[in-house]
Amino acid sequence: MNALELWGGHECTVNRVGDVWRDQTVLSGHQDRLDDLDLFADLGLKAIRFPVLWERTETAPGRFDWGWADQRLQRLKDLGLRPVLGLLHHGAGPSWTNLLDPAFAEGLARFAAAVATRYPWVDDWTPVNEPLTTARFSALYGHWHPHARDEGAFWLALINQVDATRLAMEAIRAVNPAARLIQTEDFGHTWSTPPCEGQARHENERRLATWDLLIGRVVPGHPLWPDLERSGLADRAKAIADAPCPPDVLGLNHYVTSDRLLDHRLHRYPAGTRGGNGRIAYADVEAVRVVDDYPCGWARSLETLWKRYELPIAITECHLGCDTDSQRRWLSMCWEAASRARSRGVDVRAVTVWALLGSHDWDSLVTEPKNHYEAGAFDVSSGAPRPTALADLVRTLADGDPAPRHRSSGWWEEPRRILYPPFPKPRAMSEVQL
């Protein structure tokens, strides 16, 4: 097994709220700083997740502006920094389409063909970042365009993105047969009080939907099949299963907020946490904020994905919006979990330091322009990238040295993390059938 690689990426989301578009590449200033790529390369990274986004590049149907991407991909090539190209990052496509458009998948596939023809030397691709998360935020919770709040719309948005990925890879491989699909998704675990166990079980099945669909597992008998039948999407799911597009690498994105607790005792939590499924009302809260002896999820997530799929895994987003000491602790824990998993035979290829330039307004899921900035390996709050202490750790790991021991714990390991009446560590809810 080759050495564990260190990858990177800048937060590049382009999302739409109403008629307002938010572009993280512009907000960070990376739009106008070519030399940022030299800073990234100097960290010792082997690869970088890099955007050639549909919304930014296809300015009108069939009309492309390649100037920004041409210049940067050439610089990456000169630096020897391998790109993992992304075509959609929490976006809904250009203004003439959206996640519920019947022509969405074919439109992205045509764009993918144009990108692959332009850059035939690129081997690694993520046509759609986190399809499940994007479908939830855009079509189930209504945060982003097209602002639907309907389970049928959610499943349609997910199927459209999975179909778009499948057709995009087909178009890319027509140009470059060696192209690899690195399919990212946010992944956490949901616990619950006993009355909410059915919903928690559903969410623990649903978190696997992107990968299960692409691999062709969602067929009659799969736990999610009834949802697709109710949504009128069974024929499309069958078509995907008949011509699957298995990822070459599973991209694991995991955050402290990825793990959830569902609690039917609404009086324990503020109104903003409350939700339901039409049968039972519950609070949906971050597990780290309420669960005693909270078990950090890196090792658990790696083991779960390996047992289920036995496919190579790359941690494609490791980031925490907090103070630099805690960011270093979080990255160290991630690196150590990946290293331990490899020692047990799990094929973990890489850890990706995400949000190298920090992120803007993710505390509100990029729904409000509050200009709330969180630094990453570089702090761009002054207008020019300044390396933080996290960058020093990145260089250490890239040099092959072990993660240094931290004298202090991260906030997610301390009593101050608890915001609500403490909940005993949930009894181990069995993982989905592996």
Give 19-41 pLDDT, tens digit per residue. Answer: 999 999 999 999 999 999 999 99
The DSSP line for 1-28 is -PPPEEEEE----EEEETTEEEEHHHHT
HSE at residue 235, side-chain half, CA atoms within 13 A, is: 1
pLDDT at 367: 93
Determine phi and psi for 256, rounding to 5 degrees: -55, -35
How far does Cα 384 stand from its chain's mean position? 26
Q: Which residues of the chain have pLDDT under 70?
A: 406-407, 425-434
| DSSP H helix total and E strand total for the chain | 14, 20
pLDDT at 432: 40
Spatial distance between the Cα atoms of 90 and 109, rounded to a whole number of angstroms: 17
Inter-axis angle of helices 151-175 and 234-242, nearest 10:
20
pLDDT at 295: 82
Among residues 413, 416, 431, which one has the least CA distance to residue 333? 413
Instruction: DSSP letter for 383, please.
Output: S
Structure confidence by residue, pLDDT tens digits, 164-195: 999 999 999 999 999 999 999 999 999 999 99
**Count of all residues that appear for the chain in the document:** 434
How far does Cα 387 stand from its chain's mean position? 24
N- to C-terminal Cα separation, the chain: 25
pLDDT at 213: 98
pLDDT at 409: 85
Please name each of the domains of the chain with its CATH number. 5-417 (3.20.20.80)
